[in-house]
Each structure stands twice: as structure tokens, then as C-alpha cells.
Amino acid sequence: MIKVKAKKDLMTSHGPIRLDVDFQITDHELVTLYGPSGAGKTTILRMIAGLTDPDEGLIEIDSEVWFDSAKGINTPVQERHISLVLQDYNLFPNMTVRQNLKYALKDKKDEGLVDELLEMAHLTQLKDRKPDMLSGGQKQRAALVRALLRRPKIFLLDEPLSSLD
């Protein structure tokens, strides 16, 4: 279960806003955040991932506290076992598609899975290209596959289908 009770002051193009969220997500539940641009949707994902700290609050995953402002707890990003796919894909520009995917593997025994997912995502022919040689949709598919290869406890997607071909 994911529990988020967090507050964050934000400066948006519409002026300052106070993001104040309090929600729970049960295991295997799919949740969509919906709202206008600048409402704080991406900030909520970034807070869960540990990339942005709430001003105050609590983030708990499966009874494990990842953030608690009152107790001074803030689990580092690399210990949160999440995958976050942002709008800009965050592929390493100096690596090929295949190298980007292999980077996500925790266990080198899973290298066969890279080829399987390249095929499923229709990226096999592009595996030796670097991100600057890919379309937006191809980059997005590569980023989604890389996130899946991490086998995350939590899978966070920020506008995951906006560029798919």
C-alpha cells in the first residue's frame, strides 16, 4: 500500500499554490492523476520517487517510511525501488538503446529479457542507435522498457503515452 500525506509550496505560471495531498493506493491498484497544467501532478510523482522533498508530510510504502518530515526520515532515491518515466524520457545520450536498457538490469542473468522486450516494443532494429537518432515515440518506448527492466516495486509514469507512435 502507498500512503501519501504531503504538503508542498509551488510557484507556477499561475502564481503560488499550496499542494496538499492525502491519499492511499492499495496493491495492484492503477491510479491516474488528472488536472490542469501546473496543478502539481508531476510534483506528486517526484515526491514519491524522492526527487522532490515535500515541505512536510509522510510517504509510506508497504509500511516502510520513505519520508517523514516530523522524524527527519528521507530514504534516498536509489533505495526506493521505483521506476519513474518522465516526459523527457531521461535516456542516456551517450548510450545506444540496448545499452540504456542493459543499464537498468539488476541481475546480468536477465540480459535475454532485454532482447525480448526490444522485440515486444518494436525496437530491435533500433537497438544500436543513440537517443538523438530516435523519434519521440521510439524514445518513449525505450524509456518504458528500461523502467520495466528494473522490476520496480512502484511504477510511476508522467504522461507515458504522449509521444507513442
pLDDT digits (tens, 9 = 90+) for 37-51: 888 999 999 999 999
pLDDT digits (tens, 9 = 90+) for 81-123: 999 998 888 899 999 999 999 998 887 778 889 999 999 999 9
What pLDDT was estimated at residue 89? 82
Same-domain pairing of 8 and 74? yes
Residue 88 lies in a domain: no
Q: Are 62 and 15 in contact (CB under 8 A)?
A: no
Element (H, E) at 59: strand 56-61
End position of a domain, from candidates 80, 109, 124: 80
Cα separation, 8 vs 57, in Å, equals 9
Q: Which residues contact 145 (CB under 8 A, 6 or more apart)?
A: 101, 117, 118, 120, 121, 123
Q: What is the residue range of 53's domain?
A: 2-80
* Degrees, nearest 5: CA angle 147-39-70: 75
